[in-house]
A and B are shown apart, each in its own frame.
Chain A
Amino acid sequence: MFDRRLLQNFDWILLLLLVILAAISVANLYSATYPTRSTGGAAILQRQIYWFVLGFAVFLLMTTFNYKSLERLAYPAYIVSILLLLAVLIVGKLTSGSRRWLSLGFMAFQPSELAKIAMVIVLAKFLAARDEFMEYHMRDLLKPISLMMIPAVLILKEPDLGTALLVVFVSVSMILFEKIHWKTFVALGVTCLGSLPVLWLGLKDYQKDRLLTFLDPDRDPLGAGYHIKQSKIAIGSGQLWGKGYLEGTQTKLHFLPEQHTDFAFSVFSEEWGFAGSFLLLALYFLLIIWGLDIARNSKDKFGSMLSVGIVATIFWQVIINLGMVMGLLPVVGIPLLLFSYGGSSLVTTMAMLGLLMNISIRRFIFQERGGIGQ
């Protein structure tokens, strides 16, 4: 099924963006783990390179089949991911107070990552399933909102506020691509605002602490505020041109916390300055805009909505992480896509980008088959 036309339509731009980001990410990880070289830093770098190799394999694998076959798999995949989310709550590995990891014996993975993909696919299928144009009313939205809430609540239970929020943000973004009756829109908006206090009560103390600290960073400059303060110092002290590769003092001297995971961008920004950060942001920007173009060019609605879901996932992860390390958003612990250390998230990301590529490659197929002019 992998014919020459597909190869001709291969989206080199998308691949190029990925390769550049992956290369910068590895180089930056080298610097971020530099100070701990002797104490496991080298192993982290090595593992991430393996993950990238695996990631690219998954990426390519995801382009080999026609994405339309995913429509049939949407609900089974969704149900499996919900079951895994339930399983992780029961038998998940407890690390630093939360159960996020499911051990498969040879490796551990986060079911919430699978849920992210399944959610996007199932919503894309649901939203693409309508024959005719119709405004969405409340009763039409009950199903997609329920589909969204089940994994979101389960993930929140782990607890993993960041991923739960991401699932909600991505799902809502996708739903908002449909035309929603204004009354329903207002009603939902009010419901959301009304549920904020309930959500607040459901938060763990440390999560409340982070939010309060975000609102008032001087509340506890060494506790929750310390991370964000040191991150801002790292980024800000990079100034225009940065301190130079491997020369970031905030990083090397450990003032910056979580420097190879959540705060990887701060490491980069300290060493490459505004100039480098601007370029990196430009790459992410291009990736997202390119993704939206793929959504536009897809000739079927499932493909479009799937692209939108994937782009929304990329967009929110990038925005939340960057907003967080720059002090614009509270610390919720979302890694920077393609940039932070972490295998599970990297493989998921590469799988999603593979699907995006899949859609991109097949953008002309229906045009030819159906003979519809552009």
Chain B
Amino acid sequence: MRNSEFDPISEEIFKSRLRRARAIVVLAFAVLIIQLWLLQIVMGPGFRRQSENNRMQLRDIPTFRGVIKDRNGEMLAGNRPSFDIYVVPSEVDDNLMLADRLGELIGMSPAVITEKIEAAYRRSPFKPVSIKKDISRDELAVIETHRFSLPGLKVEARPIRHYLFGSLGAHIIGYLGEINDKEIKSGQYPHNKAGDMIGKAGVESTWQEVLTGISGAESLEVDAAGRTIRVLSRRPPLSGENLWLTIDRDLQSLSEEILSEKKGAIVAMEPSTGRILAMASSPSFDPNLFVEGIAHGTWEQIVRSEGFPLQNRVLSGQYPPASVFKIVVALAALDKGLIDQKDEVLCPGIYRLGDYQFRCWKKHGHGVVNLHRALVESCDVYFYVLGRRMGVDTIASYARRMGLGELTGVGIGNEKPGLIPTTGWKLKRMGVPWQAGETISASIGQGYVLATPLQVARLISAVFNGGILYRPQLALFIENGRGEKTRLFPPEPERELGIKPEAIALVKKSLIGVVNEPRGTGSKALLKDALVAGKTGTAQVVRLEKDRDEERDGQEDIPLEFRDHAWFAGVAPAEDPKIAVAIIVENGGHGSKAAAPLAGALFKSFLKARE
């Protein structure tokens, strides 16, 4: 054993080696302690946050958008579940196999699926990536049966907007779209965040704040596999409130049916309140197309398609009111005391002003007419004379009193004010003085005069409701989830017309005559059971070379886009009106033929339903 013992030099070296070893150990542990200190003390708060991020997942609890109902409680816009397919990349065994199978089941290219999963895997592998939204029921059934062979796949249900009757009331209801950056920054959508669908048009937009629910949130503790361990905190979602509209679904449906295959607009209103019963604009669209965020191509296609279906012609279509405007001129003249019912004018079918000739629609004239006959038979010459006597500015001031040339404030869509020209307007706008001939055109609602169907409906309502101009309304009341009314919308009378009651009474009588008397232009709106009153109009689209002639059925020879627009504005029953309508059929020809019968049908159906 001697050879194992230390000789002195070896022992000395060994001792010095031990000292070095001790120093190395101290150094090594110092490095470890420093690293621990860096990790836990210096970078500790950051790592604590990361561990919390690992642990916690914030999840939205979807909310339900308030539903939209008609005045009778019939649901127009509700919610339905959308089944969305997600894939959790970290749980996928075999990406290619999953993409192949899934692609086959839901009709998607496997390459697209693979790419989505791979991109998501690099980003955040535990977070589900959306593969396809709103799969069909059939696809759902197939997926559910193959669930076991598709690891990593998740199907989630989420409420989305559903318009029960497709395009019914599309222009009133509007549509949804994904909130954009500008809207988020505007602060007008405090309850919404990126990715949310918000109302972009119609009452969906106007009442966005009421309809939108406030989504809830859940803070979940999850494990590394993304499984939920427990709920840490939860804020329940708040459903949106329901909106009851003033619309009558049946009347709305009929209005749209009547307008199908045509271009035009119908608006029906409760004359005594200003509440809108129906508002149809044709062509229309299906707002369900927008529910999931519309593809740019589809959007372009809709916007560009023939007839501008997104435009709500009721309030943004500006048309010459034509003979309907005679109501305004007649009331103005009577109120001013310029005429009485006995004053007569000879209508030879033509009116001369200097070198110009202005024709009456009836080629050979109406003969001698008083105001009543002139309204009933819609004599142009009578109103040429009247207009000349009053001047355009007087007509304009009355037209404005009756709500023309201004926004009605209905609160949806891109409402247009129309146009009521004055001499001052012309000078300012065109830089040239008003011409006498222009007064002639204006007095039969042509020339520069423009009005929207909604303005006309409001006007005719005011004539028959005792002279009160109401703001048109679409919202009846708002109801919370428990069915309690939280907000009512009483009628909003804006102003009185301020026209002598006798004048109004005379005009009313004449408007009854339009429909009910022989040779009245509105006779096609005549009903057996109710007294209908109204006024037809035929708006010239282009100044035609030939004379306009009621007897001449020449409109069929004219290319469609140059044919006249047909107007009818009226009420029923005249003695206690329940409904007022304004109808325009673009390029429909004469109001008496193309518009009056439509009004008759609407009145008939509406009044019958009320019995």
Which A residues contact B (CB, under 8 angstroms)? 68, 71, 128-133, 173, 176-179, 222, 230, 232-240, 249-250, 252-255, 269-270, 273-274, 277-278, 281, 284-285, 288-289, 292, 295-296, 299-304, 308, 311, 315, 319, 322-323, 326-328, 366
Residues on B with C-beta less than 8 A from A177 are 13-14, 17, 21
The reply to whether B40 and A277 contact each other, CB–CB distance below 8 Å, is: yes
**How far does the Cβ of B46 sit from chain A's closest Cβ, in whole Å?**
7
Q: Is the CB of A236 within 8 A of B47?
A: yes
Which listed residue (A131, A179, A295) contacts B18, Cβ 8 A? Answer: A295
Which one, B3-11, B59-67, B141-149, B244-252, is touching chain A? Answer: B3-11
* Cβ-defined contact, B18 with A178, below 8 A: no
| B181-233 with Cβ < 8 A to chain A | 221-225, 229
With both chains docked as a complex, state the minimum distance between the C-beta of A131 and any C-beta of chain B, in angstroms.
6
Cβ contact within 8 Å between B7 and A250: no
Taking the complex as formed, is B31 at the interface, i.e. its CB lies under 8 A from any CB of chain A? yes
Binds A, one of B49-57, B172-180, B339-347, B435-443: B49-57
Apart from A253-B221, A301-B14: 10 A-B pairs, beta carbons within 8 A: A130-B3, A133-B13, A233-B47, A236-B44, A238-B40, A239-B41, A240-B40, A249-B51, A274-B40, A281-B36
Given contacts A179-B13, A302-B4, contact A326 B35 (CB under 8 A): yes
Q: Are B41 and A132 in contact (CB under 8 A)?
A: no
Contact with B50, one of A176, A237, A366 (Cβ below 8 angstroms)? A237
With a CB–CB cut-off of 8 A, which chain B residues contact A315? 25, 28
Chain A residue numbers with a CB within 8 Å of B18 are: 292, 295-296
Indicate if the CB atoms of A296 and B15 lie closer than 8 Å: yes
When A277-B40, A295-B18, A319-B28 are in contact, do A237 and B51 touch as well, CB less than 8 Å? yes
| Complex: chain B residue closest to A322, CB-CB | B32
Q: A132 to B43: give the CA distance in the assembly, Å.
A: 54
- Least CB separation from B121: chain A residue: A222
A364 to B365, CA, bound (A): 145
Pair B47/A301 contact, Cβ less than 8 Å = no
Min C-beta distance of A173 to chain B, whole Å: 8
Contact between A273 and B40, CB atoms less than 8 A apart:
yes
Q: How far is the CB of A217 from chain B (nearest CB, A)?
A: 14
Q: How many cross-chain pairs have Cβ atoms below 8 Å apart between A and B?
A: 155
CB distance from B528 to the nearest CB of A (A): 79
Asked whether, in the complex, the Cβ of B35 is within 8 Å of the Cβ of A269, the reply is no
* A253 close to B223 (CB less than 8 A): yes
Partner of B5, one of A253, A299, A328: A299
The minimal Cβ–Cβ distance linking B90 to chain A, given in whole angstroms, is 8
Whole-angstrom distance between the alpha carbons of A177 and B18 in the complex?
8
* A301–B5 touching, CB < 8 Å: yes
Residues of A within 8 A of B222 (CB): 253
Most chain A Cβ neighbours within 10 Å, of B4, B125, B223: B4
Residues of B within 8 A of A237 (CB): 44, 47-48, 50-52
B299: interface (CB < 8 Å): no
Interchain CA distance A177-B14 in the complex, whole Å: 6
Residues of A near B425 (CB, < 8 A) are none
Partner of B6, one of A233, A292, A300: A300
Flag if B50 contacts A274 (CB, 8 Å).
no
| CB-CB nearest in chain B for A173 | B21
Cβ-closest chain B residue relative to A220: B122
- Asked if A235 and B1 sit within 8 Å, CB to CB, the answer is no
Q: Is the interface of A mostly helix, strand, loop or mixed?
A: helix
- The smallest beta-carbon distance between A107 and chain B, in angstroms, is 32
Task: Tell me whether B229 and A232 are in contact (CB under 8 A).
Answer: no
Residues of B within 8 A of A289 (CB): 22, 25
A250 to B4, CA, bound (A): 52
Does B489 interact with chain A (Cβ within 8 Å)?
no
CA–CA, A173 and B22, complex, Å: 12
Q: B22–A236 contact, CB under 8 A?
A: no
Closest to B221 in A: A253
Q: Are A274 and B41 interface neighbours, CB within 8 A?
A: yes
Q: State whether B39 touches A232 (Cβ < 8 A).
A: yes
Docked-complex contact A239 and B44, CB < 8 angstroms: yes
| Nearest CB of A to B458, in Å | 65
B166 interface residue (CB < 8 Å to A): no
B4 partner, pick from A71, A179, A239, beta carbons under 8 A? A71
What residues of B have a CB within 8 angstroms of the CB of A308 in the complex? Answer: 21
Q: If A237-B51, A285-B29, A289-B22 touch, does A68 touch B39 (CB 8 Å cutoff)?
A: no
**A232 vs B40: C-alpha distance in the bound complex, in angstroms?**
9
Which residue of A68, A222, A253, A327 contacts B54 across the interface (Cβ within 8 Å)? A253
Knowing A281-B29, A328-B31 are in contact, say whether A178-B13 is a contact too (CB < 8 A). Answer: yes
Whether the Cβ atoms of B32 and A236 lie closer than 8 Å is no
Q: How far is the CB of A121 from chain B (nearest CB, A)?
A: 13
Contact check, A239 vs B6: say whether CB atoms are below 8 A apart. no
Chain A residue nearest to B122 (CB atoms) is: A222
Contact yes or no, B32 A239, CB < 8 A: no
Instruction: Report yes or no: B221 in contact with A133, Cβ–Cβ below 8 A.
Output: no
Best-surrounded residue of B14, B45, B125, B225 (most CB of chain A within 10 A): B14
| Given contact pairs A177-B17, A249-B55, A278-B33, A236 touches B7 in the complex (Cβ within 8 A) | no
Distance to closest chain A CB from B122 (angstroms):
9
What are the 3 tightest A-B residue pairs by CB atom distance, in nearest-first order?
Answer: A236-B47, A133-B9, A237-B51
Residue among B25, B28, B51 with max Cβ neighbours from chain A (10 Å)? B51
B216: min CB distance to chain A, Å: 24
Within the complex, what minimum Cβ distance (angstroms) separates B37 from chain A? 7
Instruction: Indicate which residue in B13, B21, B48, B225 contacts A236 across the interface (CB closer than 8 Å).
Output: B48
The verdict on A68 contacting B1 (CB below 8 Å), with A233-B47, A239-B48, A315-B28 known, is yes
**B4-A300 in contact (CB<8A):** yes
CA A113 to CA B9, docked complex, whole Å = 34
- In contact, A292 and B21 (Cβ under 8 angstroms): yes
Residue of A nearest to B2 (CB): A131
| Complexed CA–CA distance, A240 and B40 (Å) | 6
In the complex, A77 Cα to B536 Cα: how many Å?
118
> A133-B10, A222-B125, A300-B5 known; A232 and B47 CB under 8 Å?
yes
Give the residue name and chain of the B residue nearest to A275 (CB): B40
Asked whether A253 lies within 8 Å of B13 as measured between CB atoms, the reply is no
A-contact 0/1 string along B539-558, CB 8 Å cutoff: 00000000000000000000
Most chain A Cβ neighbours within 10 Å, of B15, B21, B45: B21
What is the minimal beta-carbon distance from A294 to any residue of chain B, in angstroms? 11
Complex Cα gap A281–B40 (Å):
14
**Contact yes or no, A132 B224, CB < 8 A:** no
Could you tell me the distance between the alpha carbons of A239 and B28 in the complex, rounded to whole angstroms? 22
Chain A neighbourhood of B54, CB < 8 A: 230, 233, 249-250, 253, 255
Chain A residue at smallest Cβ distance from B229: A253
Contacts of B44 in A (CB 8 A): 236-240, 274
Beta-carbon nearest neighbor of A293 in chain B? B18
Chain A positions within 8 Å of B35 at CB level: 323, 326-328
**Would you give 7 A-B contacts (Cβ < 8 Å), ordered by A?**
A235-B40, A236-B44, A277-B40, A288-B25, A300-B5, A303-B4, A326-B39
A237 to B53, CA, bound (A): 11
Q: How far is the CA of A133 from the CA of B7 in the complex (A)?
A: 7
Q: Contact: A253 with B40, CB < 8 Å?
A: no
CB distance from A170 to the nearest CB of B (A): 13
Which residues of B, 134-188, contact A by the 8 Å Cβ criterion? none
Q: Which residues of A contact B10 (CB under 8 A)?
A: 130, 132-133, 301
Instruction: Indicate the member of B21, B40, B41 with the most A CB atoms within 10 Å.
Output: B40
When distances are taken between beta carbons in the complex, the residues of chain B under 8 Å from A233 are 47, 50-51, 54
A277 to B41, CA, bound (A): 12
Residue of A nearest to B13 (CB): A179
| A239 and B223 alpha carbons, distance in the complex (Å) | 21
Closest to B36 in A: A277
Q: Kindly state the separation between the CA atoms of A284 and B50 in the bound complex, as whole angstroms.
A: 29
Distance of B113 from chain A, by nearest CB (Å): 20
